[in-house]
Chain A
Amino acid sequence: MMRLPLLVRVLRDPAAVRGLDGVGWDLLLRQADAANLDAFLLVLLEDAGLLDAVPAGPRAHLEWTRTGAAGHARAARYEVRQIRKALDGLDVPLILLKGAAYALAGLDAGRGRLFSDIDILVPKARLAEVEAALMMHGWITTHHDEYDQRYYRQWMHELPPMQHARRGNSIDVHHAILPETARVRPDPDSLRACARPIAAEPGLATLAPADMVLHSAVHLFFDGEFDKGLRDLVDLHRLLGEFGAQPGFWDALPARARELQLGRPLFYALRYCPRLLGTVVPPAVRAAVALDGPRGPLLWLMDRLFERALLPLHPSCADAFNGPARFALYVRGNWLRMPPLLLAQHLFHKAFITKHNESQAA
């Protein structure tokens, strides 16, 4: 495999910062900034006891991220609180997903991780009530274009994002983790049945640990958007690191993936996390998922595509291949979520018609 960018080398081994000069630190921080991992870099170095040895210039930049991360954590907690208040009377189980889940459950993956929306999972049958309750408490729907509204409600697994009129924060209300139109259908009822309450937060829950890992994997490998690719891979790495220490976690993971039809994303997760970030995965588990992955030439192609697409989106990490690699994966990602006919229509509309509407409105 080609030489890894500095940021990835440091993620694998934080002690690699010891040899850095001014230019090296400069490059590391810029790659981290581009990958949305600058706040995490502070956490990583502090945990490794390396922060005090960082020279003054880069150290200041790392410390600047500390307040932002703390403020973000506070704002997220407050926003979730307001959502819980809004949905209080409905007796709907409130399951947090992704960043909000990591933050509120106090997981390691939540430290130094910023996110822009709150994602929640509710039963499909209660969707209308949830939307109504949120609107009563000041959230309004976005994406007023008729096509976009239809895209979300009919084809996707979520309501169009809602934004709070006064605070400006966004909430994504999901009823499943993949769209109805996708080739695979991880059963939302099963996901909800295995959800775990958050001990310190009455009324809030997260997915079960294995399901959180699978959700993160499917989000990364099926979404088609890789501008946060490395960040999402780091999430997976940290989730696997924390849950891997729990008894029974590894043994049950492959079977659960198959049950949810998510064997393929798990295969990729357990392949690329060790390759890029040095994640420790028991060999027996890797063997157990081997059959869920592509073989031969297709695997070789996926390796080339993903290994480039998962790097930081920064000029220093670009090579001639990267642009096409990202686009190829974008198209592929969308195909996994929508059948090809719908896909062509969607991409055409998104690229041309929607922009035209925007410029009309401007």
Chain B
Amino acid sequence: MLTVGSLSRAELEARLSGAGLVLRTGPFANRIRSDVQPLIDGVALMYADYPVDPEGGFVDFHLDFLRSGGLRRWVRSQVHFAYDGTTPFQPLPLGQAYPMLEWTMNWCVSHRAHGYLIIHAAVLEKHGRAIILPAPPGSGKSTLTAALLGHGWRLLSDEMTLVHLDDAVLVPLPRPVSLKNTSIDIIRAFRPDAVLSRPVEETTKGTIAHLKAPRDSIARAAEPARPACIVFPRWEAGAAIALDPMPKARAFMQVADNSFNYQVLGARGFAALGRLIDASDAYTFRYSNLHEAMALFERLAQGAA
């Protein structure tokens, strides 16, 4: 199987500046074209283990990232995103090209892939039990995710949990984990082995870096998982660890609130979320110490919370 890592840098650049690199992430084929070096660096490092689809096949999403053209060198260079010829977003400084790839890949899925209920949540699996972590920004979800990946958990997704509409099966979409500001240092300390992208400063979300997904998670991207728990995490300085059951009807409303496309899906979304809630125990989770959190999640994986 051809992976990004098995291409030479020259071949990678040739594909990206030519017909496109067709990168497979979970169920989706993304055709990426770009001449922007920071983006190419990001792809080479973060997506080394990902399959490359042959040309001439069907592609789900078309993403072009091009630098501002021509002779205007005195204008600070920017990267422009185009989705199949349309430009839905403002350009960004060149240095933000790799995070832009991550954000736009998310946008493609959340705006179009209405064959799934798409929850803004991380989802990880261990011992056949999948835990969904919905969380608004600032709740420490990604730090927790990044830490758990160093403790044998399989990554299904960091940002978008895909729930199959007809049964409550969770479809993997393993991609790099995004970390912000202080999380970056926390994870560097907690997981010295982790591979991180070069931090990018001054984005609208602060300083951003991405953590490479475990090779095993990528290799198992075609293997769905069954939900066992929904955990709403919250990091609080100095807090004692606490896992409290949440009534299911409320968990339903909270998850619906944290979904990208629940409203679009209408009655089908209602039914799919109902099945998910049926299958899962819901909790709120408060923690301050990552080691304690790891131990508690291990108990959840054993089914013994």
Taking Cβ atoms with an 8 Å cutoff, the residues of A that contact B are 21-23, 25-26, 30, 33-34, 55, 57-58, 60-61, 63-68, 70-71, 74, 314-315
Contact = CB atoms under 8 A, between A and B. Distances in A.
Nearest to B59: A26
B114 interface: yes
A67 B268 contact: yes
Given A34-B85, A74-B266, A314-B85, A68 B114 contact: yes
Dominant SS at the A interface? helix
Interface in B89-124: 112-115
A64 B115 contact: yes
B62 interface: yes
Nearest to B116: A64
A65 B62 CA distance: 18
A55 B113 CA distance: 17
Contacts of B265: 67, 71
A154 to B, nearest CB: 35
28 contacts: A21-B56, A22-B56, A23-B56, A23-B58, A26-B59, A30-B62, A33-B84, A34-B84, A34-B85, A34-B86, A55-B58, A57-B29, A57-B57, A58-B58, A60-B60, A63-B115, A64-B115, A65-B114, A66-B114, A67-B265, A67-B266, A68-B114, A68-B264, A70-B266, A71-B264, A71-B266, A74-B266, A315-B85
Contacts of A67: 114-115, 264-266, 268-269
B296 to A, nearest CB: 37
Contacts of A34: 84-86
A23 B60 CA distance: 11
A315 B82 CA distance: 12
Contacts of B86: 34
Interface residues of B, number: 20
Contacts of B113: 64
B35 to A, nearest CB: 18
A22 B264 contact: no
Interface string B55-73: 0111110100000000000
B263 interface: yes
A58 B112 CA distance: 13
Contact of A22 (B58, B62, B114): B58
Contacts of B85: 34, 314-315
B58 A57 contact: yes
Contacts of B269: 67
Contact of B57 (A22, A30, A74, A314): A22
Given A61-B60, A71-B265, A315-B85, 14 more contacts: A22-B57, A22-B59, A25-B58, A26-B59, A61-B112, A64-B113, A67-B114, A67-B115, A67-B266, A68-B114, A68-B264, A70-B266, A71-B264, A74-B266
Contacts of B57: 22-23, 57
Contacts of B62: 30
A300 B205 CA distance: 56
A60 B84 contact: no
B27 to A, nearest CB: 8
Nearest to B62: A30
B174 to A, nearest CB: 19
Nearest to A66: B114
A322 B238 CA distance: 64
Nearest to A314: B85
Interface in B264-301: 264-266, 268-269
